[in-house]
Structure formats: C-alpha cells, structure tokens
Amino acid sequence: MILTVTLNTALDITYRIRALRPHTSHRVTDVAERPGGKGLNVARVLAALGHEVTVTGFTGGATGRTVREQLTATPGLVDALVPVAGPTRRTIAVVDTTSGDTTQLNEPGPTVTAAEWSVFQDAYEDLLPSMSAVALCGSLPPGVPVGAYAVLVRLARAAGVPVLLDTSGEPLRRGVAARPDLIKPNADELAELTGSHEPLRATQDARRRGATAVVTSLGSDGLLAATPEGRWRATPPTHLHGNPTGAGDSAVAGLLSALVEQLPWPDRLSRAVALSAATVLAPVAGEFDRAAYEELVGRVAVTGEVTAA
C-alpha cells in the first residue's frame, strides 16, 4: 500500500474555451470536475497503474464532501482524509483550446487549527506501519506550520518508510533538512531552494542539504536525476501539446510506483517521463492517455552514469 498526503486538497474544475481573452465574456465548451490537490492526483495515477493507495490530508465543507464522494469511484483507493471545520478549496483551470495554454486559479484552502493539525499527525503516524512508501505533496493550507513536512518526513523515516517530498518554498527548504529519500522540484523551485540556476549543480546542492535523491522536472525537456547510485537525464521522444496541469504529479506517481517495484533508476525515470507526457494528452489532472504512455515508455532516452554515493 502506498500513502499519499495532500494537506491542501481541492476540487479541481476545468473549463475549456476556444480562446482566452481578457476583459470579455467566454462561452465554456466543456466542464470537468475531479478531486484534486497534488497528492490526490498522484494517488489516482497510482491506482490506474494497479497500485493500492491510501489518501490522507484535510477535507471539509460541502466541497470536501464532493471530493470524498468522487474518490469512492476510484478502484484501489482508500479514503483516510481527516475532516476539518473549514471548506476544502477549489482550483480552476481554464484551457484555451486554440493555443493549448492553461490558466490556473488556486484558492488558498481552509484555515487549519492547532487541534486539527494534531489530530492529523496522530492519524498519519497510525497509517505509516502498513505503508510501503509515502508521498508528501503540494502546498500547506493556512494554519499548518511551515515546518509541517519536516515533521512528516521524520515520522516516516522513524517508521522505516521511504518518503518522497514534492513541495516548494520554505516548506521544501525545511523538509529537505529532515532528509527525505527523494524530492521532485521543478527547475524554478530547485533554483529557489539552492540559489543556483544550473540544474545539475542545483540537484547536487539539494543532496548536500539533506535529500538522498533529487529528480528535477525540466518541463517538456524531461527529468534530471542526482542519486546515490548515479546521475541521469531522461528526455521524452517528442513534445506533446495539450493541458500540462498534473503532468508533474504523474511524474511523482511514476517515480513512487517504480520505487516500490524496486526498478533501477533509468527505468524509474523512463516511466515518470512517459506518464508525465501522456498526462498532457488527458483532459484533466490525475489522468493519463494509456495508449500514449505505453507507446512512449520504451522510447524515453535516458543518458547518464553510475557513480559512487
């Protein structure tokens, strides 16, 4: 069983329009509504890959009830979300079908009390012994301490459970210091963490700061990995056009599923890149085009070298 943590869950709403123009009215051609937040997207992709997944985090209000109702339709997914008094946020993605661009609007999320955060920590610690890996994903809702992920990383390490951290800013900086097994920032998040805009140097610096392994997203150019076993670059065979929302979450699902399957690093990166690219072709985050994934996974170019730790 894999555990994904989404402290700031969401109801993702995707609007499709012909062309986005400021200061005008738009006719929406299609609307999709799904449970969202990075960890829930990761969980849905993991479930589609055939892994059993437990999801936890915070949920509340009418929006939270909708999220939980929709999660029940996902085979292989167990709901262990913790209720809070405040309402779960909504995120709005507006997809311009002419240009392929997506505009994202993210609400802040509910304010979590100290008592609710304490309840969550207890629930999380109870779940860990039965898990093979855990992913800590996304932003922190108001009220949750900025060092929350550092706390959750340490609890996972104490339980002997491999932990992947995918966040940004100060929560990432503090979380890295707690020594997660893997972090997956994008290039901008990594530069903010390390102060370096050269990705290879920045990945190595992030390892020195505490991460055992670092996989950096380079957008449509693939992934760069620095690990105790070696350094690799994984590049998709072609650039696909579509909705990139959730592509990074699919990469996390690929890395995490391959970790629990004990695949070598080049195969982990191939899976992550292929899933990320196939997600661009899907209508909403948390889904991927399976035919495209199966066609792409064997064509991802992985170059690099095995090194000492």
Find the helix or strand (DSSP H, E) in which 278 lies. helix 265-280
The catalytic residue among 122, 249, 267, 289 is 249
Give the SS3 label for residue 287.
Answer: coil
| Identity of the amino acid at 74 | T
| Token output for 82 | 């913790």
| Token output for 73 | 């339709």
Residue 249 is a catalytic residue: yes
Q: How many residues does the chain have?
A: 309
Between the two ends of the chain, the Cα-to-Cα distance in Å is: 29
Give dist(CA 168, CA 272) in Å, integer. Answer: 19
Helix 169-177 and helix 187-194, axial crossing angle in degrees, nearest 10: 60
Could you count the other beta carbons within 10 Å of the beta carbon of residue 302?
18
DSSP state of 128: G
| Token output for 46 | 């993991």
Give dist(CA 11, CA 67) in Å, integer. Answer: 6
Measure Cα distances from 309 to 5, 75, 200 in Å: 29, 39, 16
| Residue 224: closest CA among 179, 275, 184 | 184
Give the SS3 label for residue 114.
Answer: helix
Catalytically active residues are 249
